[in-house]
Amino acid sequence: MDELNFTIAKITHEMRNPLTLIHSSLQLIQSTHPEVHDFQFWDQTMQDVDYLTQLLEDLSSYPDDRRFFMCEVDIRELLLSLESSLQPYIQEQGKHFSLHLPAQLPSVFGNPVKLKQAFLNLLKNAFEATDEGGCVSLSARKYLDQLIIRITDDGCGMTPETLAAIFTPFSSGKAGGTGLGLAITRKIIQAHYGMIEVASTPHRGTTFTITLPHL
């Protein structure tokens, strides 16, 4: 484990117990004293604790270089399941999602949980980059011995400076971001012997292209 990963692992270990205790205490206060919701800073306090919890989860995931269980994955079924998972969020946010898949796609060798984590993170980022009524699309196709998967949004796009650092740990182009989501996503894709690339134009949107070898 290199120095950065060792430092991250040490920080997460030290943070986990006190943060869990703080979160439990706040939940207890909330359940026994519902009037606390009237306090003007209560909701913000809970949001800050949720942010720290998410940061801890991201920190915990980033240094994990262990090889995870790999098996044959029906990538078409996995992508279809993403659409179902996203429906409540899409409807609540008033946004649009389109999925373009051929009738058949070859399987990939991978870990279905990790792959789903990677694609959900990319889709979540895409939706967050769009305004109400915004559109996100996902397409997949076979090309030679590769699968090409593209996630495109018509959102705010990114500046060249943001784009250059997008996969750098702790670099985030959005408010409240941990700066680890895309770094973790790239690690997952690379662990599947794949590649991830991004193209973006300010005010015109962003496209992530994932290439995975298929069976």
Averaged over 109-132, what is the pLDDT? 90
Q: Per residue in 35-89, pLDDT tens? A: 988 888 888 788 778 767 766 776 666 666 556 788 999 999 999 988 888 888 8
CA distance 100 to 118: 18
> Chain-centre distance of CA 104, in angstroms?
26
Averaged over 138-146, what is the pLDDT? 95
CA distance 31 to 164: 45
Burial class (CB in 10 A: 0-12, 13-18, 19+), 117: middle
CA distance 192 to 171: 24
CA distance 174 to 129: 9
Average predicted confidence (pLDDT) for the chain: 85
